[in-house]
Amino acid sequence: MLARCLSASLQGLQAHPVTVEVDLAPGLPGIQLVGLPDKAIQESWERVRSALRNSGFRGPLVRVVINLAPADLRKEGPAFDLPIALALLVASGQLDRPRLNGLWCAGELGLDGSLRPCRGVIAIAELAARHRAQALVVPPGNADEAALIPDLVVRTAPDLQQLVQQLKGDRPCLRVCRSRPELQPPEPAPIQAHGLAGRGLALAAAGGHHLLMVGPPGCGKTHLARQLPALLPPLTPDEALTITRIHSVAGQLEQPLNVQLQRPFRAPHHSSSAAALLGGGSQPRPGELSLAHGGVLFLDELAEFPRPMLDQLRQPLEEGTVRLSRARLKTAFPAAITLVAATNPCSCGWHGDREHGCRCSQSQRQRYWQRLSGPLLDRLDLQLRLERRPAQEMRRCLQGDHRSDDPWLQPQTIAAARQRMQQRNPGGVCNRDLPARALGFHAGFAPAALQLWERLVAHRGLSTRSGIRLLRVARTVADLNGNAVVSSDAVAEASHYRCSDVMHSPEPL
């Protein structure tokens, strides 16, 4: 007999429909699995056979041919265990064929027949909803994730035996019907930042600008970076669903599912590989860059990262997308992030400090900064030079009396600036993503501001990209101050965050 069951295969963030076909033919007992399966699917036969036997079903004693159609699409992962098992039961006459009509399945089987969660179920659920599936059967660990997709009936069961009883009507179906949850943003944490560092943090949060912090060890660079997500506006339900989908495909979704309006913060180590940072592999998966989508990617000790790896960040920072091309596959992962980078001013870390002498020579400092390419630094809108905090300020921090009272570091001020951008900018984009032509038509620059900008570009020899980014930062300065027109003062302030001496000046700025 021939039986079919519907499932899906992941390719990047997208799921593609797959029909699992099982044919039982006379001959010596054996299994033949075709349709470009990976190693995990090839091993599924042993899991399925043990799960059937331990669940009280008889295994096939004939020749079994399993086809995963379409045959030219590579499939991976153990999510095909459940559809293979159900199709085997139909082909062997232990389950009626109409029971699988319009039913989509995905899940891994344990040897005892239990249903175990698999990755990427939210993408499979979206595909099933688009194909008007009658229901989607998933393990209990994936039920809440699949139920985030509206207009989709989700069924689940703890093991294969109870699932078959549900399909036969001998047991009531366990349905998980849940609309998108009403997500509540987390309580805003108090911000501990002052002066130029606090102002730069507020500009990065308001306009989405990328931030570079240069300073000696222990001056608070990491502490400042970890506070940035608390300043960013709460996620919308669509953004939360996209982030959940990325983490699901990457296999990093927390169980049980707990969706919150908390923007991600990722801080990969400088020893990470290019595939771990950008994504990739034989079957591409999201990297740290995509896992930080909608939030903050923090690269501590920036100069310790390999230069070729950092140069691969240039295109994703411009487009907000990571594009991976392989011989058999091309895919794209979203990567709309706010990049925060931190580094020491030299190898020993004390160049420019007022009390600690630098042990590096001029040539050593040049070699240290040659690890960072000019095009990458050109894309970092805000460049801050930090210095060590005095003991009195650290004491206030220990006593919990170090919260910032600056008005621009309040979440409501950041939210008001973002609202102005959404109402003014085409497409509601933040100032970081505002095209140059739209910047000239909609940003509202005063004539004196443009004249000062022209002098700055000529005096400092700024590139076209640097000049445009300076105007975007100036527009964010005006939004943060609540001004509709960008004045020359806003341009002057923006120029302080793109200082060519931020890496080499002997005196902290």
What are the residues whose beta carbons fall under 8 Å from the beta carbon of 427, sequence distance 6 or more? none
Q: Rounded to an integer, what distance in angstroms lies between the CA atom of residue 497 and that of residue 363?
A: 26
Average pLDDT (240-268) is 83
pLDDT tens column, 6-64: 999 998 889 999 999 999 988 888 899 999 999 999 999 999 999 999 999 998 889 99
Task: State residue 247's pLDDT score.
Answer: 92
Q: Rounded to an integer, what distance in angstroms lies between the CA atom of residue 37 and that of residue 39?
A: 7
- Percent of the chain past pLDDT 90, that is, above it, reads 59
pLDDT tens column, 449-464: 999 999 999 998 888 9
Q: Rounded to an integer, what distance in angstroms lies between the CA atom of residue 231 and that of residue 204?
A: 9
Report CA dihedral (66, 136, 243, 188) to the nearest 10 degrees: -150
On the question of pLDDT at 253 being above 60, the answer is yes
Q: Rounded to an integer, what distance in angstroms lies between the CA atom of residue 293 and that of residue 266?
A: 10
**Which letter, b or e, does each residue of 424-448 get, where b requires 16 or more Cβ atoms within 10 Å of its Cβ?**
bbeeebbbbbbeeeebeeebebbee
On the question of pLDDT at 441 being above 80, the answer is yes
On the question of pLDDT at 508 being above 50, the answer is no
Tokens of 14: 């997208």
On the question of pLDDT at 140 being above 70, the answer is yes
What are the residues whose beta carbons fall under 8 Å from the beta carbon of 116, sequence distance 6 or more? 78, 107, 108, 109, 110, 139, 141
Task: State residue 470's pLDDT score.
Answer: 94
pLDDT tens column, 258-302: 665 678 999 999 999 999 999 988 778 999 999 999 999 999 999
Note whether 244 and 237 are within 8 A (CB). Answer: no
- Does residue 256 have a cis bond before it (omega within 30 degrees)? yes
Q: Rounded to an integer, what distance in angstroms lies between the CA atom of residue 473 and that of residue 477?
A: 6
Task: State residue 392's pLDDT score.
Answer: 64
Q: Rounded to an integer, what distance in angstroms lies between the CA atom of residue 455 and that of residue 495?
A: 11
Tokens of 119: 């990755």
Task: State residue 395's pLDDT score.
Answer: 62
**CA atoms within 13 Å, Cβ hemisphere of 405:** 2
Q: What is the DSSP letter of 312?
A: T
Tokens of 439: 């910047």
* 3-class DSSP assignment, residue 267: coil
Tokens of 444: 């509202």
Position with higher pLDDT, 190 vs 150: 150
On the question of pLDDT at 402 being above 80, the answer is no
| pLDDT bucket at 381, cuts 50 / 70 / 90 | very high
Place of tokens 């590139």: 463
Tokens of 366: 């040049």
Q: Rounded to an integer, what distance in angstroms lies between the CA atom of residue 114 and that of residue 108?
A: 8
Task: State residue 273's pLDDT score.
Answer: 93
Quick one: which H or E segment has residue 338?
strand 338-343
On the question of pLDDT at 168 being above 70, the answer is yes
Q: Rounded to an integer, what distance in angstroms lies between the CA atom of residue 201 and that of residue 413?
A: 13
| pLDDT bucket at 382, cuts 50 / 70 / 90 | very high
CB atoms within 10 A of CB 5: 25
Tokens of 66: 């399993």
CB atoms within 10 A of CB 466: 18
Tokens of 462: 């700024």
Mean of pLDDT over the chain: 87
CB atoms within 10 A of CB 506: 11
Task: State residue 498's pLDDT score.
Answer: 79
pLDDT tens column, 297-331: 999 999 999 999 999 999 999 999 999 887 778 88
Smallest CA-to-CA distance from 147 within 261, 241, 252, 82 is with 241
Note whether 381 and 472 are within 8 A (CB). Answer: yes
How does strand 279-280 pair with strand 285-286?
Answer: antiparallel
Which ranges in 370-487 belong to alpha helices (H)?
A: 374-378, 391-398, 411-424, 436-442, 447-460, 464-481
